[in-house]
């Protein structure tokens, strides 16, 4: 999958899609991993990440909505991708259809300064 193809799939699934698309088109690194994961497993993982982010005060974009979307997908298999802002301050997690034909959800997490 190339950069433009992925950017074209980032519509209005969540409000994190617009900044993810901008990061992608501005030259941010990206990856879509091979294989898929059950959406329910991802919903549990990202619900835990949401709790940790809230506890630590980490800034996120629509993480609760993304968890809801993953939960509603039930047993669907999902591919996972990530886009980093060019300055690496944000990581945008992408959740795609099993065949990578569509983005189902997108969330952003501000990365901790090192």
CB 105 within 8 A of CB 111: no
pTM for the model stands at: 0.94
Instruction: Indicate the average pLDDT of the chain.
Output: 94
The two structure tokens encoding residue 94: 């992408």
DSSP 35: S
pLDDT per residue as tens digits for the range 50-92: 999 999 999 999 999 999 999 999 778 999 999 999 999 999 9
Give the model confidence (pLDDT) of 31-41 as tens digits. 999 999 999 99
Instruction: Compute how many other C-beta atoms are within 10 angstroms of the C-beta atom of residue 14.
Output: 24
Contact at 8 Å (CB) between 14 and 69?
Answer: yes
Cα separation of 105 and 4, whole Å?
18
Are 94 and 81 spatial neighbours (Cβ–Cβ below 8 Å)? yes
Question: Can you state the percent helix, strand and coil of the chain, rounding each to 5?
Answer: 40, 25, 35
Q: Are 65 and 6 in contact (CB under 8 A)?
A: no
Unique residue bearing structure tokens 């990578």: 100
């Amino acid at each position: 999958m190339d950069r433009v193809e992925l950017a074209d799939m980032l519509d209005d699934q969540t409000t994190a899609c617009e900044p993810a698309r901008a990061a992608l088109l501005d030259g941010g690194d990206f990856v879509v991993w091979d294989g898929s994961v059950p959406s329910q497993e991802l919903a549990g993982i990202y619900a835990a990440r949401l709790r940790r982010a809230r506890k630590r005060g980490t800034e996120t974009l629509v993480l609760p909505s993304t968890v809801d979307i993953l939960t509603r997908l039930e047993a669907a298999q999902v591919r996972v991708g990530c886009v980093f802002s060019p300055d690496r301050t944000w990581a945008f997690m992408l959740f795609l259809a099993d065949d990578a034909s569509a983005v189902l959800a997108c969330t952003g997490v501000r990365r901790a300064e090192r």
